[in-house]
Amino acid sequence: MTTLSIRCKMNDYGAFKQAYDGWRQENAANMGIVASSVFRNVDDPDFVTVHHQFADETAAKALANQISNDEYKEYERQQGYIQVDTMEVTLLKKVE
């Protein structure tokens, strides 16, 4: 199991969550995401961490590369609900 972890600060959590839920519903299964979770920081709820779990490491890397590229970051800047410069993308492998 591979987890893609994305952490970033929000400008507008409500707008992000609505867009994210729509994206997840339309795309998650096709991208190989088997589970996902959204977490908000207890002390600063504008910091959000999203975890996407994949059975296939290659699919996790593909999404990590997609959201790390400059075109995607520019798209997010235009949307305005994520502070793109705070975005941290990490791939995690479950240890047995």
Q: What is the pLDDT along the chain (96 residues), one digit of tens a residue?
A: 999 999 999 999 999 999 999 999 998 889 999 999 999 999 999 999 999 999 999 999 999 999 999 998 898 889 888 898 899 999 999 887
20 — phi, psi (to 5°)? -65, -45
pTM given for the model: 0.89
Helix axes 57-68 and 70-79, enclosed angle (nearest 10): 60
CA 58 to each of CA 20, 27, 63, 79, 86: distance values in angstroms, whole numbers, following the listed order: 22, 16, 9, 28, 25
User: 31: number of CA atoms within 13 Å, CB side?
Assistant: 20
pLDDT at position 94, please?
83
The per-residue pLDDT for 17 is: 93
pLDDT at site 95: 86
Phi, psi values for residue 3, rounded to 5°: -115, 130
Residue showing tokens 């893609």:
4
Residue 96: predicted pLDDT = 79
